[in-house]
Amino acid sequence: QVIKCKAAIMWEANKPFSIEEVEVAPPKAHEVRIKIVATGICRSDDHVITGGMVMPFPIILGHEAAGVVESVGQGVTSIKPGDTVMPLFVPQCGECSNCLSTKGNLCSKNEFASRAGLMPDGTSRFTCKGKAVHHFLGTSTFTEYTVVDESAAAKIDSAAPLEKVCLIGCGFSTGYGAAVQTAKVEPGSTCAIFGIGGVGLSVVMGCKAAGASRIIAVDINSDKFAKAKELGATDCVNPKDFEKPIHEVLIEMTGHGVDYSFEVIGRTETMVAALACCQYNYGVSVIVGVPPAAQKITFDPMLIFSGRTWKGSVFGGWKSKDSVPKLVADYMKKKFVLDPLITHTLPFTKINEGFDLLRTGK
C-alpha cells in the first residue's frame, strides 16, 4: 500500500522547508518502511540547504531519528513490523571490506560517496505532486513515514524514550564515539574541542567518560560555556577574546599542546588550528564536522612530519547496526545523559523555527 503522509520538503537551496503531502511507496525487497516518532535537527541537514554539502533537490532531509516499523519488504529477516528502530545514515551491510574489518565502520553502501539521493536500487520511494523526491543519506527522517534499506535500520529497546534516544542516531554517537572509539582518549590526558554544539558537547562527555584530566571547550559563542562545564569541560575559551591565533593560546595553556583535539564545526581553518594545537610529536586530532564542499586545506607539512596523527571520524567510528542497540541499552542503564543536549521540543510543523534556532546558536 502507498501511504500518504506529511513531509518537510526542501524544493531548492536556501529556501524554507515546505510541509507537503507525499506518497511513500511500499518497501521493496530488503527494505523497511518506518513510522517516524521523533527526529533531531543536525547541522549536516543545514549544510545541504546552504550548499556546503551538495545533494540533489527536491529532497527530504533528516537523518537522526527513531520510530516504529510499519511494514517490511521481501527477504527482511532482522526486523519485523511493530519493532522499534533507529534509521542509520551509516548502514552496516556486514559484507563489505569496511564492515568485515575491525578497524572500519563506514560501510561501502553509505551515501557519502555518491550523494545520489536514491535507494540502493537507484530509485526513490517518495513522490510529491507527481514528482520524485530524493532521499537523504539513505534515511530521510523529516517525514511521517520513510523507507530505508534493511542494513540501515537497527532494532532498539521498545521501552526507550524515542524523543531522547533519537539523538543516538547521529549527534550523540558521533561526538561520544569520536572521543572513546576514534581517538581512544586515555585517562589523565588533555583534550580540546572546537565547536560545542550538540555533537561537541557529546565529545566533551566522551572525553570525561574516558578519564581526561583537562577538557578545553573552544567556541565563539560564550553562551554555550555553562552547559559545556556542566557536562565535564574544565576550561572554556572564546577565540574572540585573544589577539593571537587560538592554537597558540591552547599550547600556552597546556605547556606543550593537547593530547587530543577535535574539530566539530566543519570549517577548514578550524581543522588546521585543531591539528596545530595538539602535541607536536604524539598529539592526535580528529575531524568530526562535515568538511565543506569544494574547499581545500593548505597546511605546513611539518605539522604532520613531527609525528602528529590526523584522523577523520564518521558516526563516531561505531559499527552502526551492532552499536546503536548497545548505546540505547547504555542510556537506559544511565551510563550517559541525553537531556542536556535537548534545548527545544517542537511539533513537526514548526521545523523551520527549529532550523532558525540552530542557525542562531540557540
Asked about 42 being catalytic, the answer comes back as yes
Question: Of 108, 75, 88, 77, which is closest to residue 34 (Cα–Cα)?
Answer: 88
Q: Which amino acid is at 228?
A: A
Give the Cα separation of 229 and 2 in Å (integer): 49
User: How many angstroms separate the CA atoms of 312 and 201, rounded?
Assistant: 18
Q: Rounded distance, CA 222 to CA 215, Å? A: 16
Measure CA of the first residue to CA of the last residue in the chain; give whole Å. 41
C-alpha cell at 340: 542536556
Does residue 47 have an active-site annotation?
Answer: yes
Nearest to 42 by CA among 361, 358, 362, 360: 358
Residue 44 is a catalytic residue: yes
Beta bridge partners of 193: 217, 262
Which ranges constitute the DSSP H helices of 14-76? 43-50
Grid cell digits, residue 28: 521493496
Annotated catalytic residue within 93, 107, 166, 170: 170
Q: Which residue is associated with the grid cell 540505547?
A: 328
The neighbour count for residue 94, using CB atoms within 10 Å, is 12
User: From the candidates 18, 47, 247, 278, which is the catalytic residue?
Assistant: 47
Q: Taking a C-beta distance cutoff of 8 angstroms, is the pair 206, 177 a contact?
A: yes
Catalytic entry in 42, 99, 107, 277? 42
Q: Which residue has the cell 518506518?
A: 34
Sequence length of the chain is: 362
List 63, 134, 135, 247, catalytic entry: 63
- Quote the Cα angle for 331-207-39, to 5°: 40
* φ and ψ of 155, to 5 deg: -75, 130
- Catalytic residue numbers read 42, 44, 47, 63, 170
